[in-house]
A and B are shown apart, each in its own frame.
Chain A
């Protein structure tokens, strides 16, 4: 593995008699989305502020590209820290400045760019983050979601290589929360920066994170992928993850991955040899196109609506579902055969097209790019399994058999 971009070696921080971080060791790699999870007040923001130099450790070393920050010369340190940008938990927008002035501030104060060039860059960022209508508004006149986007625009306007997000989704409803995370993931892919998030939005952050760091009892107790975290055996899992995760996912109302595992384990164990069960894997395709046409919130609304309709149709016949990836759902039907599932799928699509798609417009801020509307392409794959077999192979089989089951047009004139 390549050397870490940022590394903490035995970092300790105390405030008076209270130790917030104790011998923290961690590695953050370039180009990834790394999320630091932990309970409120566990020192996540303190850790983040050490990375950007707002706080200094009492003991230990912070290395940037393998070099300790403390041994760097002033210019070298300034050049290293200039690659960072920081999005504060409460946005920290200047309330006496308009949105445009807030976003332009770092360019005006730290570069020698001409006014026209600054205007070009700020306008581009505002357009990308759907803030053009709010350019002359003050932060207090904006909704919570728009304030977040303004803060994100300010953080990204200098084209940073590393962006730190301190609780970017705090105080948001489930749709907006996931819209912000989706926005971060989209821009991270688009601009290629290294993203470091602090969050306790479990499991929402799993969908966008390459790596998870778990902060527990003043130290980092886990570093690895979200999948590896599933098999992590530590009190952190019981005390933090289970308490934050809940039984059902906030956005879709479907079972959490953990609860889904428990359910299929219990249900399939009860089956006798020879009995079968079915698995359906759904995918909402072209998420980027939906985001471009309707905005992040409408895209999340589409996912939410799809989850609700899957649960409504397949839950009624004893099925249980979860969201496996951002736009992928898995449903296990313990009592249904393939023919019944095929028939249920048709009903589901008819109902989703008739009712479910209407609510999506409510979350849309932008009009469709084309006059004809936006198309939602839904894929589904069905597979049958035996209780003795491994369910993951059945899910993979269903995934491989996915085909387009609906191309739903969401027309602006409807």
Chain B
């Protein structure tokens, strides 16, 4: 490498054709970023595959339950709060819009279907990514930089089995349950704002909620929740587990950056996956 570069780090070709270099450099950067992205994607897939293989192993039960408590039970309050607020906002907005066309009776249908098919799985996943996902990345990242993960390896404990598999299993179990909780509280929120505050008919709202929802709507919501669970848990665990591989920073700063990346990437992937799944399942 040193033989092919000059004192400024330029290769012979770059030195000979500076204009060409100037024009191709952005493409080279895009190419490098694409290769890095694809290689990370491949590594994440292998990471997820190995972690899933290790879920059904002895002594995993207590660790999975512990993670369900952290990811699921401890997120329930914030999920209920966001669910209630989302349902109430939807109640307000839908009532005002439907009144204009004289179709306020359809408010229950709109609130229920929006929540169960779209808003419930997506907002639940985003909220868990922000609350539990960031904590997972930070915790695993700190364990990596303080050599706790290396210590596991020296003790012949597979870090993927011990740290990652329980979190992925717990996410797959917790996300649909929290989504169901979000949907239920959201519908109550819609009832509070639409019926109790704005005066829509209570019987019509409850009847519309009941008759407009079919099993496939619920299934679609749960499929999304499970896919989002896999995305959030894999991204957050991966970012923490490989925090030492970051080239832009080291130590505590790398943990901070990885935590931010984990939450941002999870949210972006949730939205992309939501569109893809909706178009496939609709």
Contact = CB atoms under 8 A, between A and B. Distances in A.
B155 A110 contact: yes
B240 to A, nearest CB: 14
A285 to B, nearest CB: 38
A110 B147 contact: no
User: In the complex, which of the residues A85, A95, A109, A154 has the most CB atoms of chain B within 10 Å of its own CB atom?
Assistant: A109
A84 interface: yes
A142 interface: no
Interface stretch (A86-94, A212-220, A406-414): A86-94
B154 A109 contact: no
B148 interface: yes
A92 B157 contact: no
Nearest to A52: B154
Contacts of A92: 146-148, 150-151
B165 to A, nearest CB: 13
Interface residues of A, number: 24
B150 to A, nearest CB: 6
Interface string B160-179: 00100000000000000000
A246 interface: no
A84 B154 contact: yes
B156 A94 contact: no
B6 interface: no
A247 interface: no
A86 B151 contact: yes
Contacts of B162: 109
A95 B139 CA distance: 11
A20 interface: no
User: In the complex, which of the residues B1, B153, B156 has the most CB atoms of chain A within 10 Å of its own CB atom?
Assistant: B156
Given A109-B59, A109-B162, A54 B157 contact: no
Contacts of A95: 146, 148
A345 interface: no
A78 B156 contact: yes
A88 B150 contact: yes
User: In the complex, which of the residues B59, B143, B148, B151 has the most CB atoms of chain A within 10 Å of its own CB atom?
Assistant: B151
Contact of B146 (A81, A86, A90): A90
A54 B156 contact: no
B150 A94 contact: no
Contacts of A86: 151, 154
A92 B152 CA distance: 9
Interface of B: 1, 59, 139, 143, 146-148, 150-151, 153-157, 162
B147 A90 contact: yes
Contacts of B157: 105-106, 109-110
A122 to B, nearest CB: 14
B1 to A, nearest CB: 8
B156 A81 contact: yes
A105 B154 contact: no
Interface of A: 17, 52-54, 78, 81-82, 84-86, 88, 90, 92-96, 105-106, 108-110, 154, 158
B153 A94 contact: no
A94 B148 contact: yes
Contacts of B147: 88, 90, 92
A154 B155 CA distance: 9
5 contacts: A53-B153, A82-B156, A86-B154, A88-B147, A92-B146
B245 to A, nearest CB: 13
Nearest to B58: A112
Given A53-B153, A88-B150, 14 more contacts: A17-B1, A86-B154, A90-B146, A92-B147, A93-B148, A94-B143, A95-B146, A96-B139, A106-B155, A106-B156, A109-B59, A110-B156, A154-B155, A158-B155
Contacts of B151: 86, 88, 92, 94
A261 B73 CA distance: 70
Contact of B155 (A17, A53, A96, A105): A105
Contacts of A154: 155
Contacts of A93: 148
Contact of B150 (A54, A78, A108): A54
B155 A109 contact: yes
Contacts of A158: 155
Contact of B153 (A54, A82, A108): A54
Contacts of B1: 17
User: In the complex, which of the residues B59, B146, B148, B155 has the most CB atoms of chain A within 10 Å of its own CB atom?
Assistant: B155
Q: Which 4 A-B pairs have the closest CB atoms?
A: A92-B151, A86-B154, A92-B147, A106-B155
Contacts of B153: 53-54
User: In the complex, which of the residues B59, B143, B150, B162 has the most CB atoms of chain A within 10 Å of its own CB atom?
Assistant: B150
A82 B139 CA distance: 27
A72 B146 CA distance: 31
A102 B151 CA distance: 11
Given A109-B59, A109-B162, A85 B154 contact: yes
Contacts of A17: 1
A158 B156 CA distance: 11
